[in-house]
Structure 1
Amino acid sequence: MTTAMILTVSDTRDLNADKSGLYLETALKSQGVNVLDRQVVIDDAVDIQTQFLLFEQQSPDMILTNGGTGIAIRDVTIPALTPLIPTQIDGFGEAFRELSFKEVGTRALASRAIAGFNTRQQLCYCLPGSTNACQTAMTALILPEYEHLLFERRK
């Protein structure tokens, strides 16, 4: 069984108000993925890295983050996690922005969403905090492809 952990990055949400994280959990569980944990941290690079590394040490197959992927000064998820995800899947971000462009127009250009593998070969996704953006990523990109990506990486 595939396992996952979810990290929400937000200055305004807690676990109870985390609609995007809850959506990700529900979507993964509906596909038989065992969600081991879901946490919320503030938009702080050290807090993001710390929780991400704690998740990494628990050996899930996937780590999904949501929030902090835009271009605002407080959006530090991508600069915080890029060093921890050395193998990037460039096509994910490109495809996500293309899909988002069809939904929200040029606002999609501000998204820095990424996917890749960390040093423990766990599949990592960094998604925007918007629930709609998480739905787009999950339905069009993540759920149809995560098993194949994990298979390919583990060959």
Structure 2
Amino acid sequence: MTSVSILTISDTRNLKTDRSGQLIASFLTKSGITVNDRQVVIDDIVAIQSQFLAFEQTPTDLIITNGGTGIALRDVTIQAISPLLVETIPGFGEAFRRLSVKEVGTRALASRALAGFNVKNQLCYCLPGSSGACQTAMTHLIIPEFKHLLFERNK
């Protein structure tokens, strides 16, 4: 059975008010994936990396973050997570931005959505914090493709 850990990066949300994390968990649960853990941390490189590395030490197949992928100075998720990925999947970010342009126009260019594998070969996704963006990623990219990506990685 596939399992996931979800990390929300936000200076204003907590587990009760984290709509995007709840949405991601709902999509995954409906797809038969077990949610191992859900946490919220502030937009801080050390806080993000600490929780990500804690998730990495658990028997989870997927780690999904949401929030902090924009270009604002406080958005540091990509700076925090990129060094922890041993291989990225450039097509994910490209496909996500292509889909997002249809929904939000050229504002999608500011998204630095990312996917890749960490040292434990866990499939990792970094999504924007907006619920709409998370729904787009889950519906069109993650749910349809994660099994194939894990299969290919573990051949």
> Shorter-chain TM-score: which interval?
over 0.9
Query: TM-score, with normalisation over the residues of structure 2?
Result: 0.99
Task: Determine helix, strand or coil for the equivalent of 1:144.
Answer: helix
Q: How many residues align?
A: 155
- Per-residue CA deviation, residues 33-81 of structure 1 (Å, 9 max, x unaligned), is 0000000000000000000000000120000000000000000000110
Corresponding residue for 2:144?
144
Corresponding residue for 2:106?
106
Alignment partners' CA distance in 2, 1:135 and 1:85: 24
| 2:37 is aligned with 1:74 | no
Question: Where do 4+ consecutive residues of structure 1 move more than 4 Å?
Answer: none
Corresponding residue for 1:65?
65
C-alpha RMSD of matched pairs (Å):
0.4
Corresponding residue for 1:22?
22
Letter in 1 for 2:104: V
Query: TM-score, with normalisation over the residues of structure 1?
Result: 0.99
Alignment partners' CA distance in 2, 1:2 and 1:132: 24
Cα deviation, residue 86, structure 1: 2.0
Alignment partners' CA distance in 2, 1:85 and 1:128: 18
| 2:17 is aligned with 1:3 | no
Alignment partners' CA distance in 2, 1:115 and 1:85: 9
- Per-residue CA deviation, residues 15-43 of structure 1 (Å, 9 max, x unaligned), is 00000000000100000000000000000
What does 1:75-90 align with in structure 2 at a 5 Å threshold? 75-90=75-90
Task: Determine helix, strand or coil for the equivalent of 1:100.
Answer: helix
Structure 1: unaligned runs, 5 residues or longer: none
Structure 2: unaligned runs, 5 residues or longer: none
Letter in 2 for 1:60: T
